[in-house]
Amino acid sequence: MTDPSLRKLIIAIDGPAGAGKSTIASRLARKLGYVNLESGAMYRALALCAIEWDASFDDEATLLKMAQDSRITLERTIGGNRVLLDGKDVSARIRERDVSEGASRVSVHPKVREWMVARQREMGIGGGVVMEGRDIGTKVFPDADLKVFLDADPLVREQRRLDQQRVEGAPAQAIASELRERDRRDRTRAASPLLAAEDAVVLDSTHMSEDEVLNRIEELVEQRLVARR
């Protein structure tokens, strides 16, 4: 059997949109030499599939079949992560506003979630991963070695989203209200709502820089590694 102290960690980073999860998870993974798995990208790819096939975001049975029949791949490249849908690079397309809303809507369905969670477990089970999403610490890896719940004041999260999406020329008010609606849906859905796991370390990044958040998480990683020796 492998010496458990040599096994690489499973790190879960959950939190609402705009809290900075993606940037932090990707930087942390690069520093540790781990794989960064962005679970939201899988829900986004499924939403895009529904848009392309003109399927309803509310039709659970069709969405599940689409998830089973399509190939959603998270690929790591030197330039960062790529998301492929049936072999096509959709990394940029899935960040657009219609897909963001669709992802939040397709992810309310328990059977869709069950399928996604099973795939995410397969991808992360060997360790050496920083997986980010909404339910990683509560459902996907309830035994993760480190769970971080990254939060920030809603106004700050809205501002960060505005800064990211300004290039798209979208109206500020629309972006803010879409973020609020997505937040509400993610937190109040019946199946695995966005929630900090009981044993998660909650980090409020409202007044923290990206480097400060990263340093704090690195300290937590170090503590976990030391505790295991």
Q: Binding of ligand DC at residue 44 (CB under 6 A)?
A: yes
Least spacing, CB of residue 161 vs ligand DC, in Å: 10
Least spacing, CB of residue 93 vs ligand DC, in Å: 13
Q: Measured between alpha carbons, how far is 176 from 69 in angstroms, rounded to an integer?
A: 34
Q: Binding of ligand DC at residue 135 (CB under 6 A)?
A: yes
The residue among 174, 176, 144, 148 whose CA lies nearest residue 160 is: 176
Q: Binding of ligand DC at residue 103 (CB under 6 A)?
A: yes
Helical segments of the chain, H only: 21-32, 39-52, 60-69, 97-106, 110-124, 154-165, 172-188, 210-228
Q: Binding of ligand DC at residue 27 (CB under 6 A)?
A: no
Contact call for residues 28 and 11 (beta carbons, < 8 A): yes
Q: Binding of ligand DC at residue 158 (CB under 6 A)?
A: no
Q: Binding of ligand DC at residue 107 (CB under 6 A)?
A: yes
Q: CB-wise, 62 or 225, nearer to ligand DC? A: 62
Secondary structure (3-state) at 98: helix
Q: Binding of ligand DC at residue 57 (CB under 6 A)?
A: no
Q: CB-wise, 136 or 203, nearer to ligand DC? A: 136
* Among 12, 19, 67, 133, interactor with ligand DC by CB under 6 A: 133
Angle at 19 between CA 15 and CA 22, to 5 degrees: 85
Contact call for residues 127 and 184 (beta carbons, < 8 A): no
* Among 36, 81, 91, 104, interactor with ligand DC by CB under 6 A: 104
Q: Binding of ligand DC at residue 17 (CB under 6 A)?
A: yes
